[in-house]
Homo-oligomer: A and B are copies of this chain.
Amino acid sequence: MNNKRSIKNAFYAQSGGVTAVINASACGVIETARKHKNKIGKIYAGKNGILGALNEELIDTDLETDKQISLLKQTPGGAFGSARYKLKGFEENQKEYIRLIEVFKAHNIGYFFYNGGGDSMDTALKVSEMGQQMNFPITSIGIPKTVDNDLPITDTCPGFGSVAKYIAVSTQEASLDVLSMAKTSTKVFILEVMGRHAGWIAAASGLIANNIKEPPHIILFPEISFNKKNFLKHVDRSVKNNGYCVIVASEGARYKNGKFLADAGTKDSFGHKQLGGVAPELATMIKNELGYKYHYAIADYLQRSARHLASETDVKQAYAVGKAAVEMALKNENSIMITIDRLSDNPYKWKTGSVDIAKVANNEKMMPRKYISSNGYRITEACKRYMLPLIKGEDYPTYKKGLPEFAKLKNKVISKKLKSKFMV
Protein backbone atom coordinates (compact mmCIF):
# COMPACT_ATOMS: atom_id res chain seq x y z
CA MET A 1 0.00 0.00 0.00
CA ASN A 2 0.98 3.59 -0.53
CA ASN A 3 2.12 4.58 2.93
CA LYS A 4 4.02 7.66 1.93
CA ARG A 5 1.61 10.47 2.69
CA SER A 6 3.44 13.26 0.92
CA ILE A 7 1.51 15.03 -1.83
CA LYS A 8 1.63 13.11 -5.09
CA ASN A 9 0.31 14.08 -8.47
CA ALA A 10 -2.39 12.11 -10.28
CA PHE A 11 -2.58 10.81 -13.82
CA TYR A 12 -5.90 10.10 -15.54
CA ALA A 13 -6.24 8.48 -18.94
CA GLN A 14 -9.10 7.43 -21.20
CA SER A 15 -8.80 4.18 -23.08
CA GLY A 16 -10.45 2.44 -26.00
CA GLY A 17 -13.69 3.40 -27.70
CA VAL A 18 -15.21 6.47 -26.13
CA THR A 19 -18.79 6.91 -24.90
CA ALA A 20 -21.36 9.62 -24.33
CA VAL A 21 -20.42 9.77 -20.65
CA ILE A 22 -16.72 8.90 -20.28
CA ASN A 23 -16.06 12.62 -19.78
CA ALA A 24 -18.54 12.58 -16.89
CA SER A 25 -16.16 10.10 -15.23
CA ALA A 26 -13.26 12.46 -15.99
CA CYS A 27 -15.30 15.23 -14.39
CA GLY A 28 -15.86 13.05 -11.32
CA VAL A 29 -12.13 12.38 -11.01
CA ILE A 30 -11.04 15.98 -11.50
CA GLU A 31 -13.70 17.68 -9.40
CA THR A 32 -13.10 15.26 -6.53
CA ALA A 33 -9.32 15.48 -6.72
CA ARG A 34 -9.54 19.29 -6.77
CA LYS A 35 -11.20 19.06 -3.36
CA HIS A 36 -8.17 17.26 -1.91
CA LYS A 37 -5.30 19.59 -2.64
CA ASN A 38 -3.68 18.49 0.61
CA LYS A 39 -3.25 14.98 -0.76
CA ILE A 40 -3.32 15.25 -4.52
CA GLY A 41 -1.21 17.86 -6.25
CA LYS A 42 -1.45 18.24 -9.99
CA ILE A 43 -4.05 16.34 -11.95
CA TYR A 44 -2.61 15.34 -15.28
CA ALA A 45 -4.47 13.73 -18.15
CA GLY A 46 -2.84 11.60 -20.80
CA LYS A 47 -2.91 13.14 -24.27
CA ASN A 48 -4.49 10.35 -26.30
CA GLY A 49 -4.81 8.08 -23.32
CA ILE A 50 -1.92 5.90 -22.25
CA LEU A 51 0.12 7.19 -25.19
CA GLY A 52 0.30 10.45 -23.25
CA ALA A 53 2.20 8.67 -20.50
CA LEU A 54 4.46 6.71 -22.84
CA ASN A 55 5.28 9.82 -24.87
CA GLU A 56 5.44 12.04 -21.78
CA GLU A 57 2.63 14.21 -23.11
CA LEU A 58 0.80 15.19 -19.95
CA ILE A 59 -2.10 17.61 -20.10
CA ASP A 60 -2.29 19.99 -17.14
CA THR A 61 -5.97 19.94 -16.21
CA ASP A 62 -5.36 22.59 -13.54
CA LEU A 63 -5.37 25.13 -16.37
CA GLU A 64 -9.00 24.38 -17.13
CA THR A 65 -11.68 26.47 -15.44
CA ASP A 66 -14.22 24.91 -13.07
CA LYS A 67 -16.89 25.78 -15.65
CA GLN A 68 -15.17 23.83 -18.43
CA ILE A 69 -14.49 20.87 -16.15
CA SER A 70 -18.15 20.91 -15.18
CA LEU A 71 -19.16 20.95 -18.86
CA LEU A 72 -17.30 17.65 -19.29
CA LYS A 73 -20.33 16.07 -17.64
CA GLN A 74 -22.37 16.85 -20.75
CA THR A 75 -19.71 16.40 -23.41
CA PRO A 76 -19.41 13.16 -25.41
CA GLY A 77 -16.19 11.70 -26.84
CA GLY A 78 -12.90 11.62 -24.99
CA ALA A 79 -11.92 15.15 -24.02
CA PHE A 80 -8.18 14.39 -23.68
CA GLY A 81 -8.04 11.89 -26.50
CA SER A 82 -8.32 8.15 -26.08
CA ALA A 83 -6.32 5.37 -27.67
CA ARG A 84 -6.76 1.87 -28.90
CA TYR A 85 -3.41 0.73 -27.59
CA LYS A 86 -3.00 -2.39 -25.55
CA LEU A 87 0.21 -2.81 -23.63
CA LYS A 88 1.77 -6.18 -24.12
CA GLY A 89 2.39 -8.74 -21.39
CA PHE A 90 5.39 -8.37 -19.05
CA GLU A 91 7.34 -11.10 -20.79
CA GLU A 92 6.88 -9.66 -24.25
CA ASN A 93 7.49 -6.03 -23.53
CA GLN A 94 8.54 -4.98 -20.06
CA LYS A 95 10.00 -1.77 -21.40
CA GLU A 96 6.57 -0.16 -21.86
CA TYR A 97 5.81 -0.61 -18.18
CA ILE A 98 9.25 0.53 -17.17
CA ARG A 99 8.76 3.63 -19.30
CA LEU A 100 5.41 4.36 -17.64
CA ILE A 101 6.98 4.21 -14.19
CA GLU A 102 9.85 6.41 -15.31
CA VAL A 103 7.43 9.05 -16.55
CA PHE A 104 5.35 8.77 -13.40
CA LYS A 105 8.48 9.09 -11.28
CA ALA A 106 9.73 12.12 -13.23
CA HIS A 107 6.43 13.89 -12.60
CA ASN A 108 5.88 12.64 -9.05
CA ILE A 109 2.75 10.80 -10.06
CA GLY A 110 1.48 8.50 -7.33
CA TYR A 111 -2.07 7.95 -8.54
CA PHE A 112 -3.03 6.26 -11.79
CA PHE A 113 -6.69 6.39 -12.80
CA TYR A 114 -7.39 4.36 -15.90
CA ASN A 115 -10.81 4.74 -17.50
CA GLY A 116 -11.55 1.90 -19.86
CA GLY A 117 -12.69 -1.65 -20.51
CA GLY A 118 -11.23 -5.09 -19.83
CA ASP A 119 -7.88 -4.54 -21.55
CA SER A 120 -7.33 -1.34 -19.63
CA MET A 121 -7.95 -3.07 -16.33
CA ASP A 122 -5.17 -5.47 -17.21
CA THR A 123 -2.87 -2.51 -17.84
CA ALA A 124 -3.85 -0.83 -14.57
CA LEU A 125 -3.01 -4.02 -12.71
CA LYS A 126 0.40 -4.37 -14.35
CA VAL A 127 1.27 -0.72 -13.70
CA SER A 128 0.67 -1.26 -10.04
CA GLU A 129 2.80 -4.41 -10.03
CA MET A 130 5.63 -2.74 -11.93
CA GLY A 131 5.57 0.20 -9.53
CA GLN A 132 6.13 -2.22 -6.67
CA GLN A 133 8.98 -3.90 -8.52
CA MET A 134 10.63 -0.60 -9.30
CA ASN A 135 10.20 0.68 -5.79
CA PHE A 136 7.94 3.55 -6.87
CA PRO A 137 4.54 2.54 -5.54
CA ILE A 138 1.61 3.63 -7.69
CA THR A 139 -1.97 3.64 -6.50
CA SER A 140 -3.70 2.19 -9.54
CA ILE A 141 -7.48 2.38 -9.82
CA GLY A 142 -9.62 1.22 -12.72
CA ILE A 143 -12.69 3.22 -13.74
CA PRO A 144 -15.11 1.14 -15.78
CA LYS A 145 -16.26 2.31 -19.20
CA THR A 146 -17.70 0.50 -22.16
CA VAL A 147 -20.83 0.84 -24.26
CA ASP A 148 -20.68 -2.93 -24.71
CA ASN A 149 -21.58 -3.59 -21.05
CA ASP A 150 -19.22 -6.53 -21.13
CA LEU A 151 -17.21 -6.03 -17.92
CA PRO A 152 -17.78 -8.70 -15.29
CA ILE A 153 -18.77 -8.18 -11.64
CA THR A 154 -19.95 -4.57 -11.99
CA ASP A 155 -23.74 -4.54 -12.47
CA THR A 156 -23.35 -2.32 -15.52
CA CYS A 157 -20.70 -0.25 -17.30
CA PRO A 158 -21.02 3.51 -17.53
CA GLY A 159 -21.64 4.30 -21.19
CA PHE A 160 -24.02 1.43 -21.70
CA GLY A 161 -27.14 3.02 -20.18
CA SER A 162 -26.96 5.93 -22.61
CA VAL A 163 -26.40 3.87 -25.73
CA ALA A 164 -29.22 1.59 -24.55
CA LYS A 165 -31.54 4.54 -24.19
CA TYR A 166 -30.56 5.88 -27.59
CA ILE A 167 -31.16 2.55 -29.30
CA ALA A 168 -34.48 1.96 -27.52
CA VAL A 169 -35.83 5.43 -28.34
CA SER A 170 -34.49 5.43 -31.89
CA THR A 171 -36.02 2.03 -32.59
CA GLN A 172 -39.34 3.23 -31.23
CA GLU A 173 -39.30 6.38 -33.34
CA ALA A 174 -38.21 4.65 -36.55
CA SER A 175 -40.81 1.92 -35.97
CA LEU A 176 -43.59 4.51 -35.88
CA ASP A 177 -42.25 5.87 -39.14
CA VAL A 178 -42.20 2.47 -40.84
CA LEU A 179 -45.60 1.50 -39.48
CA SER A 180 -47.16 4.63 -40.95
CA MET A 181 -45.68 4.04 -44.41
CA ALA A 182 -45.90 0.25 -44.63
CA LYS A 183 -49.12 0.11 -46.62
CA THR A 184 -47.55 1.61 -49.74
CA SER A 185 -43.81 1.75 -49.07
CA THR A 186 -41.13 0.27 -46.81
CA LYS A 187 -42.21 -2.90 -45.02
CA VAL A 188 -38.95 -3.99 -43.46
CA PHE A 189 -36.61 -1.78 -41.48
CA ILE A 190 -33.24 -2.90 -40.18
CA LEU A 191 -31.19 -1.05 -37.60
CA GLU A 192 -27.58 -2.17 -37.22
CA VAL A 193 -26.11 -1.55 -33.78
CA MET A 194 -22.78 -2.08 -32.05
CA GLY A 195 -21.81 -5.20 -30.13
CA ARG A 196 -19.20 -7.36 -31.80
CA HIS A 197 -19.20 -10.01 -29.07
CA ALA A 198 -22.15 -9.35 -26.80
CA GLY A 199 -25.75 -8.46 -27.62
CA TRP A 200 -26.42 -6.01 -24.82
CA ILE A 201 -26.93 -3.00 -27.09
CA ALA A 202 -29.24 -4.84 -29.49
CA ALA A 203 -31.17 -6.14 -26.49
CA ALA A 204 -31.93 -2.59 -25.38
CA SER A 205 -34.21 -2.15 -28.40
CA GLY A 206 -36.44 -4.84 -26.91
CA LEU A 207 -37.35 -2.56 -24.02
CA ILE A 208 -40.00 -0.85 -26.17
CA ALA A 209 -42.04 -3.98 -26.96
CA ASN A 210 -44.92 -4.94 -24.70
CA ASN A 211 -46.07 -7.90 -26.78
CA ILE A 212 -44.99 -9.89 -29.82
CA LYS A 213 -46.91 -7.69 -32.24
CA GLU A 214 -44.84 -4.69 -31.21
CA PRO A 215 -41.44 -3.83 -32.66
CA PRO A 216 -38.67 -4.78 -32.74
CA HIS A 217 -40.03 -8.03 -34.18
CA ILE A 218 -36.60 -9.58 -34.53
CA ILE A 219 -33.39 -8.93 -32.58
CA LEU A 220 -30.21 -10.60 -33.78
CA PHE A 221 -27.73 -11.31 -30.99
CA PRO A 222 -24.13 -12.51 -31.41
CA GLU A 223 -24.96 -15.07 -28.72
CA ILE A 224 -27.53 -16.83 -30.95
CA SER A 225 -26.44 -18.49 -34.20
CA PHE A 226 -28.03 -16.93 -37.25
CA ASN A 227 -30.26 -19.25 -39.24
CA LYS A 228 -31.16 -17.68 -42.55
CA LYS A 229 -34.18 -19.84 -43.32
CA ASN A 230 -35.71 -19.34 -39.90
CA PHE A 231 -34.94 -15.62 -39.98
CA LEU A 232 -36.65 -15.12 -43.34
CA LYS A 233 -39.65 -17.09 -42.13
CA HIS A 234 -39.97 -14.75 -39.16
CA VAL A 235 -39.60 -11.64 -41.31
CA ASP A 236 -42.29 -12.87 -43.67
CA ARG A 237 -44.61 -13.77 -40.82
CA SER A 238 -44.21 -10.36 -39.21
CA VAL A 239 -44.99 -8.53 -42.44
CA LYS A 240 -48.04 -10.73 -43.01
CA ASN A 241 -49.32 -10.46 -39.42
CA ASN A 242 -48.32 -6.91 -38.49
CA GLY A 243 -47.96 -5.21 -41.85
CA TYR A 244 -44.29 -4.53 -41.22
CA CYS A 245 -41.16 -5.91 -39.63
CA VAL A 246 -38.53 -4.08 -37.59
CA ILE A 247 -35.19 -5.84 -37.12
CA VAL A 248 -32.38 -4.76 -34.81
CA ALA A 249 -29.12 -6.51 -35.60
CA SER A 250 -25.89 -6.62 -33.63
CA GLU A 251 -22.86 -6.03 -35.82
CA GLY A 252 -21.61 -9.28 -34.31
CA ALA A 253 -24.48 -11.44 -35.60
CA ARG A 254 -22.95 -14.65 -36.91
CA TYR A 255 -23.63 -18.03 -38.44
CA LYS A 256 -23.30 -21.27 -36.55
CA ASN A 257 -19.81 -21.74 -37.95
CA GLY A 258 -18.77 -18.46 -36.35
CA LYS A 259 -18.64 -16.45 -39.54
CA PHE A 260 -19.94 -12.91 -39.15
CA LEU A 261 -22.80 -11.90 -41.43
CA ALA A 262 -20.92 -8.66 -41.98
CA ASP A 263 -18.01 -10.59 -43.49
CA ALA A 264 -20.13 -12.04 -46.26
CA GLY A 265 -17.66 -11.01 -48.89
CA THR A 266 -19.60 -8.23 -50.57
CA LYS A 267 -17.54 -6.71 -53.36
CA ASP A 268 -17.77 -3.33 -55.00
CA SER A 269 -17.82 -2.73 -58.74
CA PHE A 270 -14.03 -2.92 -58.88
CA GLY A 271 -14.01 -6.27 -57.18
CA HIS A 272 -12.67 -4.89 -53.93
CA LYS A 273 -13.97 -6.62 -50.86
CA GLN A 274 -16.29 -4.32 -48.97
CA LEU A 275 -16.15 -4.51 -45.23
CA GLY A 276 -18.94 -4.74 -42.80
CA GLY A 277 -22.55 -4.10 -42.80
CA VAL A 278 -24.79 -6.76 -41.34
CA ALA A 279 -27.73 -4.49 -42.27
CA PRO A 280 -27.11 -4.42 -46.04
CA GLU A 281 -26.44 -8.15 -45.94
CA LEU A 282 -29.82 -8.82 -44.30
CA ALA A 283 -31.51 -6.33 -46.62
CA THR A 284 -30.15 -8.13 -49.66
CA MET A 285 -31.44 -11.47 -48.33
CA ILE A 286 -34.87 -9.99 -47.76
CA LYS A 287 -35.03 -8.37 -51.15
CA ASN A 288 -33.88 -11.45 -53.00
CA GLU A 289 -35.91 -14.02 -51.10
CA LEU A 290 -39.02 -12.14 -50.02
CA GLY A 291 -39.09 -9.11 -52.28
CA TYR A 292 -40.18 -6.65 -49.59
CA LYS A 293 -39.19 -3.03 -49.82
CA TYR A 294 -36.65 -2.31 -47.09
CA HIS A 295 -34.67 0.49 -45.52
CA TYR A 296 -31.76 0.24 -43.16
CA ALA A 297 -29.89 2.49 -40.78
CA ILE A 298 -26.41 1.99 -39.39
CA ALA A 299 -26.12 3.86 -36.11
CA ASP A 300 -22.34 3.46 -35.76
CA TYR A 301 -20.72 6.27 -33.76
CA LEU A 302 -23.99 8.18 -33.50
CA GLN A 303 -25.13 5.67 -30.89
CA ARG A 304 -22.15 5.83 -28.58
CA SER A 305 -21.74 9.59 -28.77
CA ALA A 306 -25.43 10.51 -28.40
CA ARG A 307 -25.00 12.66 -25.34
CA HIS A 308 -28.15 14.58 -26.31
CA LEU A 309 -30.20 11.58 -25.19
CA ALA A 310 -28.08 10.32 -22.30
CA SER A 311 -29.65 8.31 -19.53
CA GLU A 312 -29.69 10.26 -16.29
CA THR A 313 -28.86 7.07 -14.40
CA ASP A 314 -25.85 6.50 -16.64
CA VAL A 315 -24.52 10.04 -16.27
CA LYS A 316 -24.81 9.79 -12.49
CA GLN A 317 -23.05 6.45 -12.43
CA ALA A 318 -20.30 7.64 -14.78
CA TYR A 319 -19.64 10.59 -12.48
CA ALA A 320 -19.88 8.41 -9.39
CA VAL A 321 -17.25 5.91 -10.53
CA GLY A 322 -14.81 8.75 -11.22
CA LYS A 323 -15.49 10.29 -7.83
CA ALA A 324 -15.24 6.95 -6.04
CA ALA A 325 -11.93 6.18 -7.75
CA VAL A 326 -10.34 9.25 -6.16
CA GLU A 327 -11.95 8.61 -2.79
CA MET A 328 -10.78 4.99 -2.74
CA ALA A 329 -7.27 6.05 -3.72
CA LEU A 330 -7.23 8.44 -0.79
CA LYS A 331 -8.24 5.55 1.45
CA ASN A 332 -5.10 3.71 0.34
CA GLU A 333 -6.96 1.24 -1.80
CA ASN A 334 -4.96 -0.08 -4.73
CA SER A 335 -5.36 -2.39 -7.74
CA ILE A 336 -9.12 -2.21 -7.68
CA MET A 337 -11.77 -1.36 -10.22
CA ILE A 338 -14.75 0.68 -9.10
CA THR A 339 -18.05 -1.13 -9.63
CA ILE A 340 -21.73 -0.29 -9.77
CA ASP A 341 -23.50 -2.52 -7.27
CA ARG A 342 -27.25 -3.02 -7.63
CA LEU A 343 -29.16 -3.04 -4.35
CA SER A 344 -32.67 -3.46 -5.78
CA ASP A 345 -34.49 -3.54 -9.13
CA ASN A 346 -37.68 -1.70 -8.30
CA PRO A 347 -37.27 0.89 -6.96
CA TYR A 348 -33.85 0.84 -8.53
CA LYS A 349 -31.11 1.40 -5.97
CA TRP A 350 -27.38 1.25 -6.46
CA LYS A 351 -24.09 2.28 -4.92
CA THR A 352 -20.47 2.23 -5.97
CA GLY A 353 -18.31 -0.63 -4.79
CA SER A 354 -14.98 -2.09 -5.81
CA VAL A 355 -13.38 -5.33 -6.89
CA ASP A 356 -9.86 -6.69 -7.09
CA ILE A 357 -8.79 -5.60 -10.56
CA ALA A 358 -7.28 -9.00 -11.35
CA LYS A 359 -10.77 -10.46 -11.35
CA VAL A 360 -11.93 -8.11 -14.08
CA ALA A 361 -9.01 -7.97 -16.47
CA ASN A 362 -9.61 -9.70 -19.80
CA ASN A 363 -12.88 -11.29 -18.76
CA GLU A 364 -15.92 -10.62 -20.98
CA LYS A 365 -19.53 -10.77 -19.82
CA MET A 366 -21.98 -12.16 -22.42
CA MET A 367 -25.77 -11.81 -22.30
CA PRO A 368 -27.12 -14.60 -20.06
CA ARG A 369 -29.27 -17.04 -22.07
CA LYS A 370 -32.17 -16.33 -19.72
CA TYR A 371 -32.27 -12.76 -21.03
CA ILE A 372 -33.07 -13.97 -24.56
CA SER A 373 -36.45 -15.47 -25.50
CA SER A 374 -36.61 -19.14 -26.40
CA ASN A 375 -36.89 -18.41 -30.15
CA GLY A 376 -33.77 -16.28 -29.89
CA TYR A 377 -35.32 -13.13 -31.35
CA ARG A 378 -36.58 -11.18 -28.35
CA ILE A 379 -35.67 -10.31 -24.79
CA THR A 380 -37.30 -11.72 -21.69
CA GLU A 381 -38.93 -10.05 -18.72
CA ALA A 382 -35.80 -10.82 -16.68
CA CYS A 383 -33.77 -8.82 -19.19
CA LYS A 384 -36.21 -5.90 -18.99
CA ARG A 385 -36.06 -5.97 -15.20
CA TYR A 386 -32.30 -5.70 -15.39
CA MET A 387 -32.12 -3.10 -18.14
CA LEU A 388 -35.04 -0.68 -17.70
CA PRO A 389 -33.50 1.10 -14.68
CA LEU A 390 -30.36 1.79 -16.69
CA ILE A 391 -32.15 3.99 -19.23
CA LYS A 392 -34.16 5.85 -16.63
CA GLY A 393 -34.22 9.62 -16.57
CA GLU A 394 -33.06 12.21 -19.06
CA ASP A 395 -29.95 14.32 -18.53
CA TYR A 396 -29.96 16.90 -21.30
CA PRO A 397 -26.97 19.07 -22.09
CA THR A 398 -27.53 22.82 -22.05
CA TYR A 399 -28.00 24.40 -25.48
CA LYS A 400 -26.97 27.69 -27.04
CA LYS A 401 -28.46 28.79 -30.36
CA GLY A 402 -29.91 25.37 -30.95
CA LEU A 403 -26.67 23.45 -30.38
CA PRO A 404 -25.38 21.68 -27.27
CA GLU A 405 -22.79 23.43 -25.17
CA PHE A 406 -19.79 21.13 -25.07
CA ALA A 407 -16.57 21.65 -23.10
CA LYS A 408 -13.73 23.36 -24.94
CA LEU A 409 -10.52 22.52 -23.16
CA LYS A 410 -7.11 24.10 -23.60
CA ASN A 411 -5.44 20.70 -23.32
CA LYS A 412 -2.03 22.21 -22.69
CA VAL A 413 0.78 19.70 -22.49
CA ILE A 414 3.43 20.40 -19.83
CA SER A 415 7.19 20.49 -20.47
CA LYS A 416 8.97 17.19 -20.65
CA LYS A 417 11.47 16.24 -17.97
CA LEU A 418 12.94 13.10 -19.44
CA LYS A 419 15.63 13.24 -22.06
CA SER A 420 14.77 9.91 -23.57
CA LYS A 421 11.96 9.58 -26.01
CA PHE A 422 9.67 6.64 -26.35
CA MET A 423 8.11 6.47 -29.73
CA VAL A 424 4.93 4.47 -29.97
> A-side interface residues toward B, CB under 8 Å?
14, 17-18, 20, 48, 51, 75-85, 165, 168-170, 172-181, 183-185, 189, 191, 207-208, 264-270, 272, 274-275, 277, 279-281, 284, 287-288, 295-302, 304-309, 311, 388, 391-394, 396, 399, 401-404, 406
Question: Which listed residue, B173, B189, B269, touches A306 by the CB 8 Å rule?
Answer: B173
A14 & B180 in contact (Cβ 8 Å cutoff): yes
B268 & A169 in contact (Cβ 8 Å cutoff): no
In the A-B complex, the 4 residue pairs with the closest CB atoms? A77-B176, A78-B180, A297-B300, A391-B402
Interface of A (DSSP majority class): mixed
A272 to B308, CA, bound (A): 39
Given contacts A77-B176, A77-B177, A388-B401, 16 further A-B contacts (CB under 8 A): A18-B177, A77-B178, A80-B180, A82-B180, A82-B181, A170-B302, A172-B406, A173-B301, A208-B403, A266-B274, A268-B284, A272-B287, A295-B301, A297-B298, A298-B298, A392-B401
Chain B proximity of A167: nearest CB distance (Å)? 10
B305 & A281 in contact (Cβ 8 Å cutoff): no
B173 & A307 in contact (Cβ 8 Å cutoff): yes
A277 to B268, CA, bound (A): 11
A287 to B287, CA, bound (A): 28
A305 & B173 in contact (Cβ 8 Å cutoff): yes
A401 to B403, CA, bound (A): 26
Report 5 cross-chain contacts, Cβ distance below 8 Å, ordered by A residue.
A268-B284, A270-B288, A295-B301, A297-B299, A298-B300
Chain B proximity of A345: nearest CB distance (Å)? 13
A51 to B180, CA, bound (A): 12
Q: Which residues of B contact A304 (CB under 8 A)?
A: 177
Chain B proximity of A413: nearest CB distance (Å)? 13
**In the complex where A266-B267, A297-B302, A306-B170 touch, is A180 in contact with B280 (Cβ < 8 A)?**
no
B83 & A183 in contact (Cβ 8 Å cutoff): yes
A76 & B176 in contact (Cβ 8 Å cutoff): yes
Q: Which residues of B contact A17 (CB under 8 A)?
A: 181
Q: Which residues of B contact A401 (CB under 8 A)?
A: 388, 392
Q: Smallest CB-CB separation from A76: which chain B residue?
A: B173
